[in-house]
Amino acid sequence: MDTVITPLKGGFAIKSNDGRYLKVIGEGLAFRDQIYDSSAKFTTERTSNQQNVLKGNNGKYVRIYETNKFDIKCDAKDQRDALSVGSLFLADSFVNFTITNQASLGGRTVFMSSEVGSVSYSPSIRAKDFEDVSCRFTVSYVLS
């Protein structure tokens, strides 16, 4: 499988492999439906230590929690609490979002997944230790 690692730029939407958009719901995240609206728009920012972080349309940053499912929400108030994300471009126009440089991960990499996170962190999505079909996304660039 051919891959390309490159940072995302500008505004974009993330879709699961079954066509559902990742959306900001309050301070949470969920793959809800196949209809694009402003809650599905994300941007990336580069931090002072040269990491890429995701920012939701609610003005907050995407963060990972130290739970057994590595719950992911969109509730960080600043870049210091945001997760560091990489984008790994795969064949057939799919993308993996890798999460690294998190103290709680002890140097390992996990993959953002379209699977639902823990009930107590709802709405949230989860990260996985191993890449599978739930970790494959398509990205559509959108205008501001």
pLDDT at position 7, please? Answer: 60
What's the pTM? 0.89
Q: Return the percentage of the chain with pLDDT > 90, whole number.
A: 62
Give the chain's domain count: 1
Selection from 60, 54, 70, 74 nearest residue 129 by Cα: 70
pLDDT band at 90 (very low <50, low <70, confident <90, very high): confident
Q: Which domain holds residue 13?
A: 4-142
pLDDT tens, residue by residue, 118-134: 999 999 999 999 999 99
How many CB atoms within 10 Å of residue 98? 18
93 burial (CB, 10 Å; 0-12 / 13-18 / 19+) is exposed
Q: Kind of pairing, strands 71-76 and 61-64?
A: antiparallel
pLDDT band at 55 (very low <50, low <70, confident <90, very high): very high
CATH number for the domain harbouring residue 124: 2.80.10.50
